[in-house]
Amino acid sequence: MLRSVVSQSLSGFPEWLPEQRIVEQQAIDRLRASFELHGFAGIETRAVEPLGQLLRKGEIDKEVYLLHRLHGAEEPRTDRTLGLHFDLTVPFARYVVENAGHLEFPFRRYQIQKVWRGERPQEGRYREFTQADIDIVGLAELPVHYDLEILAVMAQALGRLELPPLRMLINNRKLVQGFYEGLEISDIPAVLRAVDKLEKIGPDAVGQLLQAEGLSPGQIQACRDLAAISGSDDSVLDRVSALGVSSAQLDQGLTELAAVLAGVSQIQQPGLTIAASLNIARGLDYYTGTVYETQMQGYESLGSVCSGGRYDALARKGKMTYPGVGLSFGLSRTYGPLLSRGLVTGSRKSPSCVVIAVVSEERRAASNEVAAQLRERGIACEVAPAADKPGKQIRFAERRGIPYVWFPAELTDSGQAAVRDIRSGDQVPAQADRWQPPAADLHPQPVWTEPQPAT
């Protein structure tokens, strides 16, 4: 079952075999269905943005792919030079501002598209990859209950994907920043960066970094104590308060975290847990309130597979701000390693559930007619390529993993049309206007080669 990534010829640009694409496509379909059930409108934005737009948030470290035309004149690079988008947030923010007059706020949208980054590829990190984003964006204001809702929507969507166990983690930028303010720390971004290294370099090394930043032993201890707090109920808030630090910003952060945590217990998804984890620092630079990360059990080295947070202003135009909250699921980051390690693949190579055997080229139209009747009732099928011996027509189906072969009356002993389950060899008389395969056989399904968590 183990299959390697199809094309190694362009590192970082994975492509999948038809049976693997079935897995990815089903994931996209399920995400989309979940998002739409929650009223998220699907949009697509163009693949390109002017460079000035792409670097607007100071993302100059991103390795962007710029475009130039084969026959175009060489032009100096400017803000108007086109580059491929590296995420779906920047283009969405631009789309919201450009179309504000045509949109209704709060505007909820999902967007499942490819993005590109010219960075060094590694497992789960590609140069071309698919993201599935949901955001809710308001006009001037956006109530905090959306911080809970966006989490609930994504949790429900991810819960339908049959992935290894997921752990969604929450923190709040105001809480952490307010805590540091309460500690009278001056260079807060530097401390955030140091604390972010906790998992990587351990508490002692982080302590040394903080010492180098001029923090007192008491401040360092408080930073470590805060980062150690995690859990999924109100006790998290109590443990923060028990640290004896206070500031208006901290209070605001605690209130927001409380509002999200209060609803978390209602989000019941098999194979998915949600908890506050106050050591999450990554992304705090960009976000202004709630932040989210997600780890996939057994794949922690991939980093977060679903991240996001609250922006005070996803976009801004003149005096008008568009606050937003969103989550971005790394579809390629998650499925790439699972597919390329061969842990999941499709149950067959084709959408076809049935191959209609052909008696002779003269009788092909009769087999076409059987196929048309099955399709009429939603049964995917195809007609055999040639009027070969029955055994050869069966092997045609077998090689594709197609479970059934339909034999016209001329090819059966009984003289009645019949359908054979080629896995068991069972053959039963059948009529094209009523035969129905078991639901499990109707469409190809992902097949996991290792036991997955009960879902």
Which residues in 233-292 contact a copy of itself (CB under 8 A)? Answer: 263, 266
Stretch that binds a copy of itself, among 78-86, 249-257, 275-283, 301-309 (CB under 8 A): 78-86
9 binds a copy of itself, rule: CB under 8 A: yes
Question: Collapsing DSSP states into helix, strand and coil, what is residue 422?
Answer: coil
Are 329 and 305 contacting, i.e. CB atoms less than 8 angstroms apart? yes
Question: What is the nearest approach in angstroms of a copy of itself to the Cβ of residue 235?
Answer: 21
Binds a copy of itself (CB under 8 A): choice among 57, 120, 375, 392:
375
Token readout for 146 is 């959306």
User: What does the CA dihedral 54, 57, 59, 64 come to, rounded to 10 degrees?
Assistant: 0
Binds a copy of itself (CB under 8 A): choice among 381, 394, 417, 422:
381
52 binds a copy of itself, rule: CB under 8 A: no
Which residues are CB-neighbours of 194 under 8 A, at least 6 positions away? 206, 209, 210, 213
Token readout for 85 is 């988008």
57 binds a copy of itself, rule: CB under 8 A: no
> Strands, E, within 260-304: which ranges?
272-277, 290-296
173 binds a copy of itself, rule: CB under 8 A: no
Stretch that binds a copy of itself, among 70-78, 197-205, 208-216, 275-283 (CB under 8 A): 70-78
Name which of 221 and 252 has its Cβ closer to a copy of itself.
252
Binds a copy of itself (CB under 8 A): choice among 51, 195, 264, 430:
51
Question: What is the nearest approach in angstroms of a copy of itself to the Cβ of residue 228?
Answer: 31
Name which of 32 and 239 has its Cβ closer to a copy of itself.
32
| Residue 135 to residue 147: CA distance in whole angstroms | 10
Q: What are phi and psi of 321, to 5 degrees?
A: -115, 155
| Residue 119 to residue 46: CA distance in whole angstroms | 21
> Using CB under 8 A, which residues numbered 418 to 437 contact a copy of itself?
none
Are 188 and 177 contacting, i.e. CB atoms less than 8 angstroms apart? yes
> Using CB under 8 A, which residues numbered 14 to 33 contact a copy of itself?
14-18, 21-22, 25
Question: What is the nearest approach in angstroms of a copy of itself to the Cβ of residue 227?
Answer: 31
Are 225 and 206 contacting, i.e. CB atoms less than 8 angstroms apart? no
Name which of 37 and 228 has its Cβ closer to a copy of itself.
37
Token readout for 131 is 């993201």
Strands 306-317 and 290-296: antiparallel
Stretch that binds a copy of itself, among 206-214, 307-315, 375-383, 412-420 (CB under 8 A): 375-383
Name which of 66 and 248 has its Cβ closer to a copy of itself.
66
> Alpha carbon of 111 to those of 37, 67, 68, 244, 303: distances in Å?
15, 23, 26, 43, 22
Per-residue contact flags (x/-) with a copy of itself for residues 121 to 160, judged by CB under 8 A: -------x---------x----x-x---x--x--------
Are 208 and 217 contacting, i.e. CB atoms less than 8 angstroms apart? no
Residue-level length of the chain: 455
Q: Which run of H or E residues covers position 405?
A: strand 404-407
Binds a copy of itself (CB under 8 A): choice among 23, 27, 31, 83:
83
Partners of residue 48 on adjacent β-strands = 84
Question: What is the nearest approach in angstroms of a copy of itself to the Cβ of residue 22?
Answer: 8
Name which of 183 and 371 has its Cβ closer to a copy of itself.
371
Name which of 353 and 411 has its Cβ closer to a copy of itself.
353
Question: What is the nearest approach in angstroms of a copy of itself to the Cβ of residue 153?
Answer: 10
Which residues are CB-neighbours of 219 under 8 A, at least 6 positions away? 183, 184, 185, 210
161 binds a copy of itself, rule: CB under 8 A: no
Are 46 and 83 contacting, i.e. CB atoms less than 8 angstroms apart? no
Stretch that binds a copy of itself, among 176-184, 279-287, 396-404, 417-425 (CB under 8 A): 396-404
Total interface residues for a copy of itself by CB under 8 A = 84
118 binds a copy of itself, rule: CB under 8 A: yes
Question: What is the nearest approach in angstroms of a copy of itself to the Cβ of residue 385?
Answer: 5
Rounded (10°) angle between helices 198-212 and 188-195: 140
Stretch that binds a copy of itself, among 77-85, 180-188, 238-246, 428-436 (CB under 8 A): 77-85
Rounded (10°) angle between helices 18-37 and 331-340: 150
User: What does the CA dihedral 292, 296, 301, 303 come to, rounded to 10 degrees?
Assistant: -20
Binds a copy of itself (CB under 8 A): choice among 31, 116, 264, 294:
116
- Least Cα distance to 203 among 225, 186, 182, 184 occurs for 225
Stretch that binds a copy of itself, among 12-20, 185-193, 239-247, 422-430 (CB under 8 A): 12-20
Question: What is the nearest approach in angstroms of a copy of itself to the Cβ of residue 88?
Answer: 13
Prior bond of 270 cis (ω within 30°): no
